[in-house]
Amino acid sequence: MTRRQLARHAGWFGAAVVLSVSGGEVISHIAHDRDSAAAAASAADANALRFVQVSDSHIGFAGPANTDVTGSFDRAIYQINTLGFRPHFVMHTGDLTHLSTPAQFDQVKQMMSGMRTERVFTVPGEHDSVDDQGRAYRQAFGADTVGDGWYSFDTHGVHFIALVNTLSLEKLGHLGQDQIDFVRKDVAGLSSDTPIVLFSHIPLFAMYPKWGWSTDDALQVLNLLRRFASVTALNGHVHQLFTRVEGNVTFHSATTTAYPLPKPGKAPAPTPQVLPAGKLQDALGIRTVKYRQGDTSLAITDQRLA
């Protein structure tokens, strides 16, 4: 990444990201409004894969950081439905709910049924497994998954792997041997030029381990993917935009639709941040991703709710 690209990424706090996969690499660019997203979509290859990442809706949260998380998630859904194109799928990267109650899971499931997309996928956050090791989450969203809720799928020449790293938390995220073995078998027959996209809630890189913003055994999975030309990992959990490149893997942390968290090390703990009146929606958003076969990268765009 060039210095100019780095500066551009650093200025994305609070934006929604449109991600595009092009030839196996992720390219990210910010769109400040619906018109720019629609213009980008209309210029794109009609055969391109386009999907949306949304994260950390925290349905059920009640606090001064956001007194209406249902309303802000509704606004994110409206933004998805008015992008100017129909995403092939939407991925929610966890913390769908705040306290993982059946009523909260039912509410978020009904809300997401209003998304104009072909399919909706999810992975759980730690708030989706409060006191029950994710049983209520899997009852609501675990159909066609393996183990504790992980799975994979293919579309438009891209292989997607949805991981669960929120169930065995000591301090950091954790995948576990069963899930690592699943990934090993899952990718064994794939060509090395197959673009790989990973979804998880907690980052798969050491973003800020002091706050638990890392996954202790992620390297075992990433080592299985070293032979692939392009690997992109998309996560939630940290409620802010962040991009990091390590070898053949590009990591992108997404923003939230609920409330912001402080930047790493800028506060004693990662607690919800109360913003000045009128500024909250600048810190919330969605992300869209595009992949065009034959290109070399995913194109990512973050869009603010404001």
Q: Which of 229, 240, 95 minimizes the C-alpha distance to 164?
A: 95
The CA distance from 133 to 295, in Å, is 40
pLDDT in the model for residue 24: 45
Give me the pLDDT at residue 12, please: 38
| Predicted pLDDT of residue 297 | 76
Which residues of the chain are modeled with pLDDT < 50?
Answer: 1, 3-16, 22-27, 29-39, 41-44
Q: Where are the beta strands (DSSP E) in the chain?
A: 17-22, 25-30, 49-54, 89-92, 119-122, 151-155, 158-162, 196-200, 231-235, 242-246, 249-253, 285-292, 298-304
Instruction: Say if strands 89-92 and 119-122 run parallel, antiparallel, or are unpaired.
Output: parallel
* 158-162 and 196-200 beta bridge pairing: parallel
Q: What is the pTM of this model?
A: 0.86
Each residue of 107-120: pLDDT tens digit? 999 999 999 999 99
Closest CA to 237 of 7, 9, 28, 58: 58
Work out the burial of residue 195: count CB atoms within 10 Å of its CB; fewer than 13 is exposed, 13-18 middle, 19 or more buried: buried
Q: Tens of pLDDT along 153-211? A: 999 999 999 999 999 888 899 999 999 999 999 999 999 999 999 999 999 999 999 99
Angstrom distance (rounded) from CA 171 to CA 153: 30
Is there a contact between 26 and 290 (Cβ–Cβ < 8 Å)? no
Per-residue pLDDT at 10 = 43
pLDDT of residue 17: 52
- CA dist., res. 9 & res. 139, Å (int): 37
Our measurement of the distance from residue 67's CA atom to the centroid of its chain's CA atoms, rounded to an integer in Å, reads 23
Q: Is the dihedral of CA 216, 202, 271, 240 positive or negative?
A: positive
Structure tokens at 145: 């998954």
Q: Give, in degrees to the nearest 5, the angle at Cα 125 between 162 and 151.
A: 20
